[in-house]
Amino acid sequence: MNKTAIVIGATGLTGTHLVAALLQDPAFDKVKVLIRRPWAHSRPRLENVIVDFEDDENLAAALQGDVLFCCIGTTIKKAGSQERFKGVDYGIPVKCARIAHEQGVSQILVMSSIGANAHSRNFYLRTKGEMEEAIQRAGFHSIAIFRPSVLIGSRKEFRLGEWLGKYLIQLFYFLLQGRWKKYRPIKAATVANAMIAAAKEMETGISVYESDAIQQMGAS
């Protein structure tokens, strides 16, 4: 039976690849993207849904389907403050997860970050870890959390920290072996493919995939 996929963060680096791949996959007969403003993309099986993430009633009407994919994320610089950053990277995924579960969505796949830890001293990694824990408490039949390392791909905006990290890690790419292998840069398209693969497997319970495992899943 074909499914309806719901995507949050469809206009970002990984989300763009995810939507394109979902539209090519016969396992999904509809792809709903939840966006804040009109998106100039029109394809068969693609449904663009304008939402207000502050409006629970609006979200409840939009978050109806089978599988929720969440790739939303920003930076503290772009958000303007830590509080606003947390509103996007924690607030939106957690609220959408809660409402989607109430609407009968049984599976969620969410992109986090390598090193995510609710007890980290690093604000970014702590926020991601807190988001993961909240998602795990939402009650879904199937939860998949993806923790990629530095993402490779063409972004609309330039991120200095990510750019520096990518090239520094690439310099030592082949030295990153064993437990360090998960810190190798990874293509955003590979992450998207891994998320779809996990969605189709639909393992019961909570699954956490770090970057090295994502690489294997997304490349196969």
pLDDT one-digit tens code per residue, 117-139: 999 999 999 999 999 999 999 99
Q: Active site residue: 3, 32, 124, 209, which one?
A: 124
Residues 6+ apart with CB under 8 A from 110: 69, 70, 93, 97, 131, 132, 135, 143, 144, 145, 146
pLDDT of 155 reads 54
Query: In this structure, what token pair is assigned to residue 147?
Result: 């923790």
Question: Do strands 46-50 and 142-147 pair parallel, antiparallel, or not at all (unpaired)?
Answer: unpaired
| Whole-number pLDDT of residue 97 | 97
Higher pLDDT, 9 or 174: 9
Confidence check: pLDDT of 91 > 80: yes
Q: Report the number of distinct structural domains present in the chain.
A: 1
Write the pLDDT tens digit of every residue in 10-20. Answer: 999 999 999 99
* Block residue for tokens 């920003």: 74
Residue 167 appears among annotated catalytic residues:
no
Q: Give the pTM.
A: 0.88
Q: pLDDT tens for residues 136-190?
A: 999 999 999 999 988 886 655 555 555 555 555 555 555 555 565 666 788 899 9
What pLDDT does 35 receive? Answer: 93
CATH no. for residue 142? 3.40.50.720
- Note the pLDDT of residue 172: 55
Is 183 an annotated catalytic residue?
A: no
> Strands 205-210, 142-147: parallel, antiparallel or unpaired by DSSP?
parallel
Higher pLDDT, 175 or 70: 70
What is the domain extent for residue 43? 3-218
pLDDT at 220 over 80: no
Which of these is catalytic: 3, 32, 128, 182?
128
Is residue 22 predicted with pLDDT exceeding 70? yes
Instruction: Report the DSSP beta bridge partners of residue 57.
Output: none
Confirm if 142 and 177 have CB atoms less than 8 A apart. no
